[in-house]
Structures are given as structure tokens and as C-alpha cells.
Structure 1
Amino acid sequence: MSVKLEAPAALCRIQQNWLAANERRILNWLCQRMPGWVTPDRLTATGMIGAGMTFAGYVASNADAAWLLVAILGYLVQWFGDSMDGSLARYRRIERPSYGYFIDHSCDGLATLLILAGIGLSPFVSMDVALIALAGYLLLSIHAFLSARVLGEFKLSYLSAGPTELRIMLIGLTVMMMMLGAGPGFFGTWSGFDLFVGGVGSILILLFVGQTCVTGRRLARIDGEKLNRRT
């Protein structure tokens, strides 16, 4: 017995981060000059290599903080692969909506795990704090995927910030790690880096709670209107 897969409905991509317009111009410029042998799948793999580099750089910083340069380079490679794969597919009009959506966001989840696990295994941030940030990011991802299913809207930014702004913030954090070193910290057992990463994770969790309430009220109103039309 064969199973027929239906094509998913087109999603409305909502991207309102600060750098969206400038980033789009850069990506379009790169798409126009990308050689034919570069494919979206190869770019997705490149993004995963970048995430692996970032993981390795953070872990190796236990031996020497200079390895953090590898982590920074990994962020740049990961941005290039992750941002370009879908852009190139749309530019060449070779999109595979179901396959691309599934693979891209599955890789995003794995890349986020690698990056935050690397941060937690570094001498600068404790693993429990890194896991708070990971939980916040994944909760917001769950919200985005659920909203895509029930509203047809795929939100790519919150508080005017998206993945690119988050990478820039993490690169800045990594530079500060190189400049200041691990040190004993100024807040008991938690360092300033712990407080920063934990604070960002807490904000992401609060955003998830807030967005869930907003979307829940919106869906209740929509479903209520549909119910009234039937009665």
C-alpha cells in the first residue's frame, strides 16, 4: 500500500530582525556569484561543519584560550551555510519545501546543541547554565514550528533579533572570554559569563511563555469566530 504525501501549505515567513534587510542584500549578492557545483545540500553540510568547529573550539579552550578563534571562525562558517542553503534554493528556483524544511530545521536543532554543549564544556560557562540557554532556544523553536502548523506563519525573529543577531552576540561573548579569561568570577560560583548566558536563556524562556499566551488568545478568537459561523 502506497502512502500519498500532500504538499505542505506555503508558509508566511516573518522576519523582522535588525539586520534582515542588509543580510538579504549580502545573501542575494552571494547567490548571484555562487558556482554551479555549490548546492543547497552542500551548504547545509557546511553549516554543520561550522557548528562542529565552534564546538571543538570551545572544548579545546580548556587547553588554551587561543582555540576560541576556531569557535569564532565556526560561527562564520555556520552562518554562511545555514543562511545560504535556503537562499540559494529560492534564487535558483529549486526549492523542495518538505525536504528543505525538515532537513534545515533538524540541522538547526543539532547545530544549536553542538554550540551550547561546547560552551558548557568550556572553562567559561557551566553546563547547567548552558542547558538553560539550550532549553530556551528549543522552546522558541517549538513555538515557531507550532505556529507554522496552526497559523501558517513561520516567525524567524523575536524582539527584533534573529539567528544572525544571536551569532553576533555569541561572537562578542567569545571575544570577551579571550580577553578576560575564565577567572574565579565575581558572583560566587557563577561567573559573569554564566550570568550572561543564563540571562539570555531565561529571556528566551519568558518569550516562549509570552508568545504562547498571545498565540493561544489569537487561536481562541479565530476558533470562536468559526464556531459562531457554524451555529
Structure 2
Amino acid sequence: MADTKKAISQDRKRTNILHNGELALIAYLVERIPRWVTSNMLTALGLMGNLSVAFVMLLAAWYHDSTWLLLTPVGFAINWFGDSLDGRLAYYRNRPRKWFGFCLDIVVDWIGIVAIGLGYYTYVHPDWKIVGFIFVVLYGAEMIISQLRYKVTDKYSIDSGLLGPTEVRIILAALFCLEYFVPESIHWIGLAISVVLLVSFISDFVKLLDAANERDAALRQEQATKAN
């Protein structure tokens, strides 16, 4: 198990709250996935999970019945399984697809987030639809920050402090389910999540600029040394 954990976590730094338990579970699962299952299959499965979340939100809107939202945790669980294991499976089998997988995962994740945002937009009251738009924009902004951080620091991290994709899935699943028990709570909690994302984006952006300044200074020093 220890060797498996090392193999599947060698390409990224994780800081999210659930990291240790999540890594142990992923290591357990990749050792037991049938050989005929490929990383691309898992990527597609992850996308289907997010699309299913969007679909049940559309059903909830069409039928004016929040009971459908109780199914969203299933979709998020499917998305976690596919999205968390696709690249880890490739590393475990010693067939890493670093750049192909990097590009594919980013685009697929974005498609999934946009779909969920559209589902939210369709479900909520017209006066609150802007919140769904803001959520998609800010989540996309965090994705951009993660790619820029990778370019500047050469270290790939998909987390923002203590929160990573897994924690976000859990929070969103809880938000959608709570709507069934507390009608219209999705509006205010959705707004609160958007505010948290905004604060996180600003903090991450400032840290990114600091890292960029440090790298620029290092490059200038290197050039000055070569010139001398």
C-alpha cells in the first residue's frame, strides 16, 4: 500500500483536509480495478457523474420537485471515482500520460462545472440565477490560477488551501440535499459559496503574483551571473 501511495502521488502536492484518507482509498481502489478498465474510461465516467448532477437538477426544475436533488450525491460520487482515479491508475500501472491527461482533465472538468452551473441556473428562482453564473466564473478562475501556478512554480496543485475538489463536491452535494429539507436555502448558501470562492481567488492570485515576482527576481539574478 505504501508503494502504491507513493506511485500515485508523485506528480502533485495536496493540501486539502481529506488528503490522507482520500489517498489511502485511491491506493486501495487502483490496486483492484480490472485490467480492462482504462484511464480514458474513468475520465469519461467522471464526466458522466457531473452531467448526471446537472441532469437531476434539470429534472427538479422541470417537475418543480426538489426530491430529485437528493440524487446529486450519487453523481458527485461517480465524478469523484472517475476523476480521482483516472490519472492515478495510469501512474500505478506505470503508464503516465502526464501532458495528455493534464489537457484532457482540465477540459473535461470545465465541461462538467459548466453543466452543473447550468443545472443550478435552471433550478433557482430567476432573481438568483446570477449566482449560478458567478459560481461558474469563479470556479473557472480558480482553475486558471492552478494552471498559472503550475507554469510559474513547476508544482501542480489542484487545491486551494484546505479545500480541494473532493471537499467542494461534498459541500455542493450537501447544499443540493439541504434544499429538499430547507426550501430556497440553495439561494443563500450558493451566494455564500460564491463569496468564499471570491475570497479564495483573490488570496490565491496574490500568492501567485508573489511567486511570479520571486521567479522573475531569480531569472534576473541568473542572467546577471551569466553576464559576469
Query: Could you state the TM-score of these two structures normalised by the residue count of structure 1?
Result: 0.85
Q: Give the whole-Å Cα distance in 1 for the aligned partners of 2:136 and 2:24.
A: 30
- Deviation, 1:208, is 4.0
- Aligned residue number for residue 193 of structure 1: 189
| CA 1:82–1:12: 2 relative to 1, 3 Å | closer
Which stretch shows the higher mean deviation, 219-228 or 47-56? 219-228
Classify the secondary structure of the residue corresponding to 1:159: coil
1:34 aligned counterpart, secondary structure: coil
Q: Which residue of 1 aligns with 2:3?
A: none
Runs of 4+ in 1 over 3 A off after TM superposition: none
Is 1:24 the equivalent of 2:20? no
Cα offsets for 1:24-71 (capped at 9, x unmatched): 100111111111121111100100110110001112112211111232
Q: CA deviation at 1:209?
A: 2.9
Q: Give the alignment partner of residue 149 of structure 1, picking from 138, 148, 151.
A: 151
Question: What amino acid is the match of 2:20?
Answer: A
How far apart, in 1, do the equivalents of 2:103 and 2:190 lie?
33
Task: Say which SS state the counterpart of residue 33 (structure 1) adopts.
Answer: coil
Verify the 8 A CA contact 1:17 1:158 in the aligned structure 2: yes
Residue 153 of structure 1 aligns to a residue in which SS? coil
Amino acid at match of 2:222: K
Question: Aligned ranges for residues 92-103 of structure 1 at < 5 Å?
Answer: 92-103=93-104
TM-superposed deviation, 1:224: 2.6
Contact map agreement 1:133 1:198 (CA 8 A) in 2 = yes
Cα distance in 2 for partners of 1:215, 1:136 equals 21
Q: Give the structure 1 partner of residue 219 of structure 2.
A: 223
Following superposition, the deviation at residue 194 of structure 1 comes to: 4.1
What SS class does the counterpart of residue 156 from structure 2 fall into?
Answer: strand
Per-residue CA deviation, residues 97-125 of structure 1 (Å, 9 max, x unaligned), is: 22111111111111111122212221268
Contact 1:132 1:201 in 2 (8 A): no
Alignment of 1:31-46 (within 5 A): 31-46=30-45
3-state SS in 2 of match to 1:157:
coil
Normalising by the residue count of structure 2, what TM-score does the alignment of the two structures yield? 0.86
Say yes or no: does 1:203 pair with 2:204.
no
| CA distance, structure 1, for counterparts of residue 161 and residue 181 of structure 2 | 29
Coordinate RMSD, CA, aligned: 2.1
The amino acid of 1:141's aligned partner reads M
Q: Give the 3-state SS of the residue equivalent to 1:61 in structure 2.
A: helix
Query: How many Å separate the matches in 2 of 1:15 and 1:164?
Result: 11
1:90 is the counterpart of 2:86: no
Structure 2's unaligned 5+ residue stretches are 1-9
The equivalent of 2:171 in structure 1 is 169
Aligned equivalent of 2:128? 126
1:216 counterpart letter in structure 2:
A
Kept after mapping to 2: 8 A contact 1:120/1:127:
yes
Tell me if the contact between 1:136 and 1:204 (Cα under 8 Å) persists in the aligned partners: no
Aligned to 1:8: none
Q: Number of residue pairs matched?
A: 215
Cα distance change of structure 1 residues 158 and 46 upon mapping to structure 2, 3 Å threshold: same
Correspondence for 1:109: 110
C-alpha spacing 1:214/1:220, structure 2 compared with 1 (3 Å): same
2: CA distance, partners of 1:151 / 1:159: 16
Unaligned runs of 5+ in 1: 1-10, 186-190
Question: Which amino acid is 1:229 matched to?
Answer: T
Per-residue deviation, 1:137: 1.6
